[in-house]
Each structure stands twice: as C-alpha cells, then as structure tokens.
Amino acid sequence: MGETPPRGIPTRRVEKRLIKMLGEAVRANCPNPERIGCPGPDAVEAVVGRRLEFPRFDDAVDHIATCAPCFAEYNRKRQRSRILKAGAVILGCAGLVLIGLAWEHRPANHTYPKEPVAKEASAPAVTATLDYRNWTTERSEQSRPRPTEPPHLTRGQLDLTIKLPIGTEDGVFSVEFRTSTNESVAEATGTATWDGTAEALKIRADLRDVPAGRYTVAIQSRNSSMRLYPLVLE
C-alpha cells in the first residue's frame, strides 16, 4: 500500500525469506531420519487438536518444533484437518445460499422502501505482525523459557496478523489489549488459520488513541482457555 512498515516489524518479503531459511535450517540440522525420540502419532494428533490434557503435551510440542520428520507429519495432519473443516464450512454456506434463494423468491405481499445505508469512512490500515510462536501459554510452571524482550508494535489503524504457538487450533478468537491494571483499551475479533508455517490470527485493531507503553494481549476462543502475551506499544 506504499506504507513504510512499522519499526521493528519485517516486510512480508523479508518475513518469507526468514521462514524459508528457518525451514532449511531445520531440515539440514534436525533431519532425524532414524526418528530417535519421536513421539507416537497420538501425540502429534494431540498437538494438532490442541488437547492440553494429553500427557507430556509440552514435550511433544518442543520435539515437533525441532524435528524435521515430526514437523512434516504435523503439517500434513494440519492440512488434512483444514480440508475437513473447509468441507463442513462449504456445506454450511451452501445451505445458507439455498435458504437465501428461497427467501428471495417467497411470495411478496408487501413492498417496503429500502432505507439508505450510511457509509462509514475508515482510515487507511497499516499491515503489521506480532510473532508469539516462541511464547508458550501461561498455564503451568513447566512452560519453556520465554524471550526476554516482548515484541514492539507501532500504534495506528492496523491490519494485524498474530502468529500463535504450535498447537493452537483454528477458529474464531477474541483479542483484548489490556493495561497493567487489567483495563481493556481495545478489542477485536478474528479468525486463526494455519498458513503452512504457523497459526495466523488476523484482526483489524484501532490503536491510534492508545497511549504508548507496556500492555498484555489476551487471546481466547470459545473452546479454549485465555492466553496472555506481553506487548510494547510505541
């Protein structure tokens, strides 16, 4: 869109190069052809389904993230899961279309004038990314060490992509930006899907009037517990 990306956030071209280099590094340094220490298929399925109660769930996530064969298996299972879910969505949409057609062609007894719809002017949005793939959810004392510095984000009207940790399930998520006193200063809703390398949650967030400082990003879906991640707004 001709916008200069916010400071500290890579352009999409740079991000794609980094992801490609990371994949090549895993294949080169962690091939594990003998599948030494690999968890069973049930463990991979548990991570795909984000079943946190599965025994040694965190260990399975750690292994998949550092083992090329297991990560490839995880990708295959995720793709299959997405295809099945997409089929269900298509069937649901087809049903809605049929209902809409039936409603459109119903016998009309009265004609009502259409009310004019006000057009809302929206400010141009800036594309930005928050990467929380290396952050584990705050659910136990056995979580992996977190990065020492939280990600930084420039305030504005944002088309924001939030990359979530391995094991996060597809679905609709609510997102809140909270102060240190747990006060919500901005809210948004978006859908998370697997993009081939990470679970990507896309939202539109208006942070233009939010003061700079440290915040907590609270993310939750209908079927999961709330996840908390740190953020610095600039």
Domain ranges of the chain: 18-105, 126-233
Q: Is the pTM of this model over 0.85?
A: no
- φ, ψ dihedrals at 56, nearest 5°: 60, 40
- The proportion of the chain whose per-residue pLDDT surpasses 70, expressed as a percent, equals 71
Angle, alpha carbons 208-212-214 (nearest 5°): 125
Give the residue among 83, 101, 154, 157 at the shortest CA–CA distance from 125: 157
- Determine the length of the chain: 234
CATH of 126-233, one of 2.60.40, 1.10.600, 2.40.128, 2.60.120: 2.60.40
What does the pLDDT average to over 54-71?
85
Among 112-126, 152-166, 174-188, whose mean pLDDT is lowest? 112-126
Question: Is 159 in contact with 130 (CB distance < 8 Å)?
Answer: no
Mean residue pLDDT of the chain comes to 79
